[in-house]
Amino acid sequence: MSKYERDFLMRNLYSGVLCDVLDSMGYRSQGIGQRLMPLDENTVIFGPAFTSIATEVYSMPESPLTAQCKVVDQLGEGEIYVLVTRGNYNCAVFGELFATAVKKKNGAGVLLDGCVRDMKALKKMEFPLFYVSCDPRTSKGRMEINECQIPVNFHGVTIHPGDLIFGDIDGIAVIPQAISEEVIEKALETIKKEDEVRRGLNEGDSLEAVYKRVGAI
């Protein structure tokens, strides 16, 4: 994923600087913010995407949840489980038991275009999760996963399997896999410049003087 340690990047990067760098490189539609919530304000997710799509159904299948179980069982260590529901928020498609499975597989978190339940248990687990809303109703007979590891449209952003996902309290940055190393390097350089600006301002310099010295960020 990068020559840097994952923990180092999670401590130092943030979604805003990644989106700024992506903007500067011509990728101006890689941020997701509206309606998406982290489990709590300290939640951070970072890792390659493992994508899946759930579709609305209108009858109880013979073996409900089997498809989702098979998908979650394929999740690799350090991957982000990305689940798209195409805007169907009529039930919970993720909860405590699936979270436990992801955690035991050392998954890096979940990015969910859908509803969750078991929030009390998820918060106790400090599970790394971004979601749209909550719903107490089961997905059995309402939603079924029918595809995985394909490009998905997540709130207007296309996510390919293997794209890097970074999420924090401000939202989500989706980094195309082919440019991930370059984006990370430029983001770390930008953060150094921001530190210079911050030091100058704390020392009493004007914004204009600081930006003239440091240059555009």
Q: Report DSSP state, residue 76.
A: P
What distance, in Å, lies between the first and last C-alpha atoms of the chain? 25
Domains (range + CATH), the chain: 28-175 (3.50.30.40)
Helix/strand/coil for 93: strand
Average pLDDT over residues 64-91: 93
pTM of the model: 0.93
For residue 135, pLDDT over 60 is answered with yes
Report the alpha-carbon angle 92-42-97, nearest 5.
Answer: 30
CA 39 to chain centre: 12
Read off the pLDDT of residues 34-54 as tens digits, 9 standing for 90 and up: 789 999 999 999 999 999 999
pLDDT of residue 3: 83
Dihedral of the CA atoms 85, 91, 93, 97 (nearest 10)? 180
Give the C-alpha separation, 70 to 38, whole Å. Answer: 25
Read off the pLDDT of residues 174-206 as tens digits, 9 standing for 90 and up: 999 999 999 999 999 999 999 999 999 999 999
In percent, how much of the chain has pLDDT > 90?
83
pLDDT of residue 23: 98
For residue 1, pLDDT over 60 is answered with no
Read off the pLDDT of residues 116-130 as tens digits, 9 standing for 90 and up: 999 999 999 999 999
* Residue partners of 14: CB distance under 8 A and separation at least 6: 166, 168, 170
Structure tokens at 39: 């489990």
* Residue partners of 70: CB distance under 8 A and separation at least 6: none
